[in-house]
Amino acid sequence: MATVLITGGHSGIGLAAVRVLAAENVDLVLAGRSPDRMRAVADELRAAHGVRVSTLALDTSSLTSVRTAAGQLGRMLADGEVASLDAIACNAGGRFDGPVTYSPEGYETTFATNCLGHFLLVELLLPHLSDDGRVVYTSSSTHDPDSMDGRMVGAVVEPDATTLATIGRDGAKALSAGKRYSTSKLCTVMYAYELDRRLRRAGSGISSIAFDPGSIPDTGFLRGMPKPVQWLSATSAMKWVTKRIGAITSTAEFSGASLAALAVSPEHAGGSGKYFQANAGTLAAVRSARLSYDEQRAGKLWDDSKRLVALTSAEEPALLR
């Protein structure tokens, strides 16, 4: 039986995904920062499907928390509480409206939460992943400045890790929450592609996949927005308008099932290095933004991220050196 570790699996798209996975007899590790909600979901899945569900305390915005969680997972694997690690779903994330805030290590919250935390988590967990395991990175169509979603939310800026980590610091230019979010999701696609290239070079059978779940206003995603905006976005009239103007739209159920399929389904065994999009009830591999294919920028993003998370040579998986 396979085991999937998912970040943010207790709500929204992640919750829909774990319900599908548990129904398919997949064991789970729910990693997140809301222990009571994770415990409630774990109880629900165990009772409904008899699968093994563990919970792991993880705040992706804190590098200390990521290191502690990775160590804890290693112990859970060693003592048999978790049988194996077959997929890592980097699903947690969000947009952070209001004034720019910073992570415990002093990095801008959007970039720390959506990018650096998952970057470090994957580096630390890769040695535990099965030989044919998968890493699925949840991105967003907002990462593409040529898409309607990218235009609506805010066009990306240069995916330079050092600049993004220090946005608004020491007189550096602040950036809108939408642009911070879109750019973090461009970096996410670039991590997925760069990891795929590095794994292929190492002759590994592990897959690295990028995923756009589509716009779903009724998850917790808009929680930082004013209440009237949240309410309006979730109305059927607004969903109709969003679809009509060419945005990528979905439901939590469809995108959760899509994420589950990308993590474990044999159908997607050849999905490494691709960008999958859930759009109006269809999951398909599509082209991502032009910039996301820039290998030189992706290599720099990777190396700068290593420096920002202070990855030691002992922590770096042999596969990726």
Ligand X SMILES: NC(=O)c1ccc[n+]([C@@H]2O[C@H](COP(=O)([O-])OP(=O)(O)OC[C@H]3O[C@@H](n4cnc5c(N)ncnc54)[C@H](OP(=O)(O)O)[C@@H]3O)[C@@H](O)[C@H]2O)c1
Residues that bind ligand X (CB under 6 A): 7-8, 10-14, 32-34, 58-61, 91-94, 113, 138, 140, 213, 215-216, 219-221
Q: Which is nearer to ligand X, 68 or 130 (CB)?
A: 68
Q: Determine the Cα angle at 35 with ends 32 and 38, to 5°.
A: 70
Q: Which is nearer to ligand X, 14 or 154 (CB)?
A: 14
Q: Which is nearer to ligand X, 61 or 183 (CB)?
A: 61
Provide, rounded to whole angstroms, the least separation between the CB of residue 137 and ligand X.
9
Provide, rounded to whole angstroms, the least separation between the CB of residue 73 and ligand X.
14
Host H or E run for residue 253 = helix 252-264
Provide, rounded to whole angstroms, the least separation between the CB of residue 150 and ligand X.
11
Q: How far apart are CA 108 and CA 100, in angstroms?
A: 7
Provide, rounded to whole angstroms, the least separation between the CB of residue 204 and ligand X.
25
Q: Which is nearer to ligand X, 21 or 216 (CB)?
A: 216
Provide, rounded to whole angstroms, the least separation between the CB of residue 33 and ligand X.
4
Q: Which is nearer to ligand X, 117 or 204 (CB)?
A: 117
| Residues with Cβ within 8 Å of residue 296, at least 6 apart in sequence | none
Closest CA to 70 of 321, 316, 320, 318: 316
Q: Which is nearer to ligand X, 93 or 271 (CB)?
A: 93
Contact (CB, 8 A) for 42 and 54: yes
Provide, rounded to whole angstroms, the least separation between the CB of residue 186 and ligand X.
12
Q: How far apart are CA 39 and CA 28, in angstroms?
A: 12
Provide, rounded to whole angstroms, the least separation between the CB of residue 297 and ligand X.
21
Q: Which is nearer to ligand X, 13 or 21 (CB)?
A: 13
Q: Which is nearer to ligand X, 150 or 213 (CB)?
A: 213
| Residues with Cβ within 8 Å of residue 44, at least 6 apart in sequence | none
Provide, rounded to whole angstroms, the least separation between the CB of residue 43 and ligand X.
17
Measured from each CB, the residue nearest to ligand X is 12
